Amino acid sequence: MPFWGLQKQLGIDVDSWLVRQSMPQPHGQAAACHAFEREWVECGHGLGQTRARRECQLEYEDFMECMNRTKLAQRLRIILEQRDRMIKQGKYTPPDYHMGKEEPRP
Protein backbone atom coordinates (compact mmCIF):
# COMPACT_ATOMS: atom_id res chain seq x y z
CA MET A 1 0.00 0.00 0.00
CA PRO A 2 1.56 3.29 -1.02
CA PHE A 3 2.33 5.98 1.52
CA TRP A 4 0.77 8.68 -0.66
CA GLY A 5 -2.43 7.97 -2.51
CA LEU A 6 -1.44 10.06 -5.54
CA GLN A 7 -4.22 8.77 -7.76
CA LYS A 8 -6.78 9.53 -5.07
CA GLN A 9 -5.38 13.02 -4.47
CA LEU A 10 -5.47 13.83 -8.18
CA GLY A 11 -8.90 12.27 -8.65
CA ILE A 12 -7.81 9.80 -11.32
CA ASP A 13 -8.09 6.04 -11.41
CA VAL A 14 -5.47 4.70 -13.79
CA ASP A 15 -5.48 1.06 -12.70
CA SER A 16 -9.23 0.44 -12.33
CA TRP A 17 -9.14 -1.80 -15.40
CA LEU A 18 -6.87 -4.21 -13.52
CA VAL A 19 -9.43 -5.18 -10.90
CA ARG A 20 -12.85 -5.95 -12.37
CA GLN A 21 -14.71 -6.51 -9.11
CA SER A 22 -13.35 -3.41 -7.41
CA MET A 23 -15.01 -0.97 -9.77
CA PRO A 24 -18.10 0.94 -8.58
CA GLN A 25 -21.08 -1.41 -8.55
CA PRO A 26 -24.79 -0.63 -8.88
CA HIS A 27 -26.55 0.19 -5.60
CA GLY A 28 -23.15 0.62 -3.90
CA GLN A 29 -22.83 -3.06 -2.95
CA ALA A 30 -19.60 -4.99 -3.35
CA ALA A 31 -19.44 -7.49 -6.18
CA ALA A 32 -19.75 -11.18 -5.42
CA CYS A 33 -16.07 -12.00 -5.99
CA HIS A 34 -14.65 -8.74 -4.66
CA ALA A 35 -13.09 -10.32 -1.56
CA PHE A 36 -11.35 -13.05 -3.58
CA GLU A 37 -10.00 -10.55 -6.08
CA ARG A 38 -8.79 -8.28 -3.29
CA GLU A 39 -6.92 -11.19 -1.64
CA TRP A 40 -5.28 -12.06 -4.94
CA VAL A 41 -4.21 -8.48 -5.63
CA GLU A 42 -2.91 -7.98 -2.09
CA CYS A 43 -0.94 -11.23 -2.26
CA GLY A 44 0.77 -10.28 -5.52
CA HIS A 45 1.35 -6.63 -4.63
CA GLY A 46 5.06 -5.83 -4.71
CA LEU A 47 6.08 -9.23 -6.08
CA GLY A 48 7.33 -9.83 -9.55
CA GLN A 49 5.04 -11.52 -12.04
CA THR A 50 6.88 -14.86 -11.94
CA ARG A 51 7.08 -14.96 -8.15
CA ALA A 52 3.45 -13.84 -7.75
CA ARG A 53 2.23 -16.63 -10.03
CA ARG A 54 4.01 -19.18 -7.86
CA GLU A 55 3.20 -17.76 -4.43
CA CYS A 56 -0.36 -16.55 -5.06
CA GLN A 57 -1.64 -19.57 -6.97
CA LEU A 58 -4.25 -20.50 -4.32
CA GLU A 59 -5.70 -16.98 -4.21
CA TYR A 60 -5.86 -16.87 -8.00
CA GLU A 61 -7.61 -20.26 -8.16
CA ASP A 62 -10.17 -19.11 -5.57
CA PHE A 63 -10.82 -15.94 -7.56
CA MET A 64 -11.21 -17.83 -10.85
CA GLU A 65 -13.55 -20.36 -9.22
CA CYS A 66 -15.70 -17.52 -7.92
CA MET A 67 -15.80 -15.90 -11.36
CA ASN A 68 -16.30 -19.01 -13.54
CA ARG A 69 -17.83 -21.59 -11.15
CA THR A 70 -16.11 -24.47 -12.96
CA LYS A 71 -15.77 -26.73 -9.90
CA LEU A 72 -19.40 -26.06 -8.96
CA ALA A 73 -20.58 -27.00 -12.46
CA GLN A 74 -18.51 -30.18 -12.35
CA ARG A 75 -19.99 -31.18 -8.98
CA LEU A 76 -23.52 -30.50 -10.25
CA ARG A 77 -22.89 -32.61 -13.36
CA ILE A 78 -21.68 -35.52 -11.21
CA ILE A 79 -24.71 -35.25 -8.91
CA LEU A 80 -27.12 -35.24 -11.85
CA GLU A 81 -25.38 -38.24 -13.44
CA GLN A 82 -25.67 -40.14 -10.15
CA ARG A 83 -29.36 -39.21 -9.91
CA ASP A 84 -29.97 -40.48 -13.45
CA ARG A 85 -28.19 -43.77 -12.65
CA MET A 86 -30.33 -44.22 -9.52
CA ILE A 87 -33.51 -43.55 -11.52
CA LYS A 88 -32.49 -46.18 -14.12
CA GLN A 89 -31.74 -48.69 -11.35
CA GLY A 90 -35.10 -47.96 -9.69
CA LYS A 91 -33.58 -46.81 -6.41
CA TYR A 92 -34.91 -43.25 -6.67
CA THR A 93 -38.18 -41.78 -7.86
CA PRO A 94 -38.18 -38.01 -8.27
CA PRO A 95 -41.20 -36.11 -6.93
CA ASP A 96 -43.92 -35.06 -9.36
CA TYR A 97 -42.96 -31.39 -9.19
CA HIS A 98 -39.47 -32.28 -10.47
CA MET A 99 -40.95 -34.16 -13.43
CA GLY A 100 -43.39 -31.44 -14.56
CA LYS A 101 -46.47 -33.45 -13.54
CA GLU A 102 -47.68 -31.06 -10.89
CA GLU A 103 -51.19 -29.64 -11.15
CA PRO A 104 -51.22 -26.10 -12.56
CA ARG A 105 -51.75 -23.40 -9.95
CA PRO A 106 -54.58 -20.89 -10.31
Q: List for the chain the helix, strand, coil content (%; round to 5).
A: 60, 0, 40
pTM for the complete prediction? Answer: 0.61
Task: Give the gyration radius of the chain's Cα atoms.
Answer: 23
Q: For 18-43, what is each residue's pLDDT tens digit?
A: 555 666 666 777 778 888 888 888 88
Distances from the Cα of 104 to the Cαs of 64, 94, 97, 101, in angstroms? 41, 18, 10, 9
pLDDT of residue 91: 94
Mean pLDDT of the chain: 81
Residues 37, 20 contacting (CB under 8 angstroms) = yes
Q: What percent of the chain has pLDDT over 90?
A: 33
